[in-house]
Amino acid sequence: MVTIRDVAKAAGVSVATVSRVLNETGYVHEDTRNTVNEMIKQLNYSPNEVARSLYTKKSRLIGLLLPDITNPFFPLLARGVEDEMRLHDYRLIFGNTDEDAEKEQDYIQTFQQNNVIGLISMTNTLSKKVYQDLSIPVVFLDRTSSGYPSVFADGKEGGKLAAMEMVKRGSKRITLIKGPGHLQTAVDRFQGALEVLSTSDINFYVMSTTSFSFKDAETWAKDLFEKYPDTDGVIASNDIVATAVIHEALRIGKKIPEEVQVIGFDDVPHSSLLFPPLSTIRQPAYEMGKEAAQLLIKLMKNEKLQKKNIQLPVTFINRDTTRKVDEHV
């Protein structure tokens, strides 16, 4: 392996000079700088990041906290973050917290111990105190925490959209599935839908659930049709739950969308491949990830933020689990 000493020797300068060139600190004559850079290139020298981060107190590592890597929505966000960070030559450490406060704490500690210089968190089960004690910039993604910059989709508008589309397409006995109460994103989309439904003249049921997991979704779907067998429209808390609702409706012989309409939330990769393909409220996950990365990069460079909170718009994706507008009469 090529060391800083090899570079110094080849350039005919001291190790300290090479170090000054690498870290862009102190005065180095332009000719010397060019020679050193030339030798770095020729010898294909890559500085040891650990030693370097200890010396300059700066690494190029970013910590990324995911709540659940097996929920297909979060890898989409992560890909956006990753691609943007790569463009700017930063690298990511991932931590998967399972929305477990202890795991979240552990990963934050690991990140600190490895001198990460910024953190993007898609989870916030911990008290704000923990994040305040960190001496690095933090951006929340798909989560909010007052006082911190964050990037999220317009969940309330998404909920409204879902309810309006459902009503417009003729459902009369709608079931509104309320997602986990501890997640602001779930609460927002629920409240948006509630607002529209409660000011309409439509009957509706509210069904509370506590998770977004594949395992539980099947149970919620079974419960739903047992408790509300006459429901003719389901506003699901996300696409995973919607997938299970479609499954259960078809299993018990209901026609989709003729007898039951279904609208999901997220637009995860498998949603368009379901049959019937799922109508859903699309969150621009990849773009959200990129925005969060850009926000963090600005913070790390001490640039002034024009906006601390970035809210991206959601869109209704009209596939085949909802009726055409003129079909409902």
Applying CB under 8 A, the residues found at the interface with its own copies are 46-54, 59, 61, 69-70, 72, 75-76, 78-79, 82, 86, 91-96, 103, 106-107, 109-110, 113-115, 214, 217-218, 240, 243-244, 246-247, 250-251, 269-270, 272-275, 277
Q: Which residues contact 132 (CB under 8 A, 6 or more apart)?
A: none
Between the CA atoms of 245, 268, 142 and 136, what dihedral angle is there, to the nearest 10 degrees?
140
Q: Closest approach of Cβ 110 to its own copies, in Å? A: 4
Which residue, 95 or 192, has its beta carbon nearer to its own copies? Answer: 95
Q: Considering beta carbons, is residue 94 or 205 the nearer one to its own copies? A: 94
Closest CA to 283 of 144, 151, 148: 151
Q: What is the smallest separation between the CB atom of 15 and its own copies, expressed in angstroms? A: 16
The residue (of 69 and 126) whose beta carbon lies closer to its own copies is: 69
> Nearest distance from residue 277's CB to its own copies, in Å?
7
Query: Minimal distance in Å, beta carbon 52 to its own copies?
Result: 8
Nearer Cβ to its own copies (190/212): 212
Q: Which residues contact 224 (CB under 8 A, 6 or more apart)?
A: 175, 177, 207, 231, 234, 245, 248
64: β partners: 94, 120
Taking the complex as a whole, the smallest distance from the CB of residue 194 to its own copies amounts, in Å, to: 26
Q: Which amino acid is at 210?
A: T
How near is the Cβ of 200 to its own copies at its closest, in Å?
A: 30
Residue closer to its own copies, measured from CB, 86 or 324: 86
CA–CA distance, 271 with 278 (Å, rounded to integer): 5
Q: Exposed/middle/buried for 79, CB within 10 Å: 0-12, 13-18, 19+?
A: middle
Q: Of 75 and 192, which has the nearer Cβ to its own copies?
A: 75
What tokens does 312 get?
A: 């991206």
